[in-house]
């Protein structure tokens, strides 16, 4: 009975999206079923700032996704994560859409590790633009 409830909740979660798009553009994450929370790569900034808390070297990432079935549904992302005195500063910019509808998301994050634990926080600024409605 518990397994059926978990499967139902997971499938319901997959069907329920907010207005914002999914920021995932990592090939490794896509291969793992879009589970980019635990990956220690620069694209984890968009979901889990704590995942990069043990980063030893600066990482830069950029991605572009073209959706041929839906014109104008292209995604562009640029990410930067850099260690600063046993802490990790993170920044990413995501752009989705075209002249009719677009979303721009800028995320600033921070990660810190304490022994085996990791703490992270991030803040995002989201701008929506729809033709006829403005920003």
* Residues 81-99: tens digit of each pLDDT: 888 887 888 898 888 888 8
Say what the pLDDT of residue 18 is. 52
| 23 close to 105: Cβ distance less than 8 angstroms | yes
Q: Is 95 helix (H, G, I), strand (E, B) or coil?
A: strand
Average of pLDDT values for 12-40? Answer: 65
pLDDT at 49 > cutoff 60: yes
pLDDT in tens, 109-128: 888 888 888 888 888 888 88
Say what the pLDDT of residue 71 is. 81
Say what the pLDDT of residue 45 is. 79
pLDDT in tens, 51-85: 888 888 898 988 888 878 888 888 888 999 888 88
Phi-psi map region of 115: left, alpha, beta (phi>0 left; psi -120 to 50 alpha): left
| 103 close to 97: Cβ distance less than 8 angstroms | yes
Q: In the chain, what percentage of residues exceed pLDDT 70?
A: 80
| 113 close to 46: Cβ distance less than 8 angstroms | no
Q: Quick one: pLDDT band at residue 135, thresholds 50, 70, 90?
A: confident
Model's pTM, two decimal places?
0.72
Q: In the chain, what percentage of residues exceed pLDDT 90?
A: 3
């Amino acid at each position: 009975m518990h397994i059926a409830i978990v499967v139902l909740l997971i499938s319901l979660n997959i069907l329920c999206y907010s207005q914002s798009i999914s920021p995932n553009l990592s090939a490794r994450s896509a291969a793992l079923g879009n589970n980019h929370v635990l990956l220690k790569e620069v694209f984890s900034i968009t979901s889990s700032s704590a995942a990069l808390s043990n980063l030893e070297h600066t990482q830069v990432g950029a991605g572009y996704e073209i959706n041929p079935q839906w014109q104008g549904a292209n995604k562009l992302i640029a990410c930067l994560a850099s260690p600063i005195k046993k802490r990790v500063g993170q920044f990413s910019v995501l752009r989705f859409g075209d002249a009719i509808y677009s979303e721009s998301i800028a995320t600033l994050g921070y990660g810190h590790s304490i022994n085996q634990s990791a703490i992270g926080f991030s803040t995002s600024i989201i701008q929506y633009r729809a033709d006829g409605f403005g920003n």
